[in-house]
Amino acid sequence: MAGASATATARNVRIIHFAFLAVPALLFFAIATLPIDAKPQVTFLPAVLAVLAVSEVGIATGFRARLLRPAVARLEQSPGDSLALAQWQRGQLLSMVFATTVVLYGVVIRVMGFSWNIAAWFFVAGFLLLLWWTPRLELPISTNVPPPPS
């Protein structure tokens, strides 16, 4: 049954990932309907948020290397390892949160009065990160599980 919990966890993380993929679109449509007449007061804000977004991607990549790689290696050896499974899930969720934060920077930029030409880059970058970091958990088939009935 341990393999089933890994399968269920992977399925649940994929469902959460699907919800995270909807966030950029929902935020885009929410911001597109807002009447934004403000003129940007702080002209260097997009550059600051771009540097922050790049650093967050670096931090997220570090978390992925520290959490996901060892967890997957342990799960390949022992698919029933609940600690490794929790570590894999935590790494996936952190990746999704960091990618969505990049999208939120686009929301901030647009609400502050900057054009879509600038804000769209953050939306696209965050969405592409969510796609790139799609959860994958491919475990070997356990030999302890009886074959399905024919």
Condensed to tens digits (0 to 9), the pLDDT of residues 2-48 reads: 555 888 888 999 999 999 999 999 999 999 898 887 788 788 999 99
- Tokens for 106? 């686009």
* Residues 56, 13: Cα–Cα separation, whole Å: 21
Condensed to tens digits (0 to 9), the pLDDT of residues 82-131 reads: 899 999 999 999 999 999 999 999 999 999 989 999 999 999 999 999 99
Q: What is the largest CA-CA distance in the chain?
A: 69
- The whole-number pLDDT of residue 7 equals 84
Please state, as a whole number, how many other Cβ atoms lie within 10 Å of the Cβ of residue 2: 15
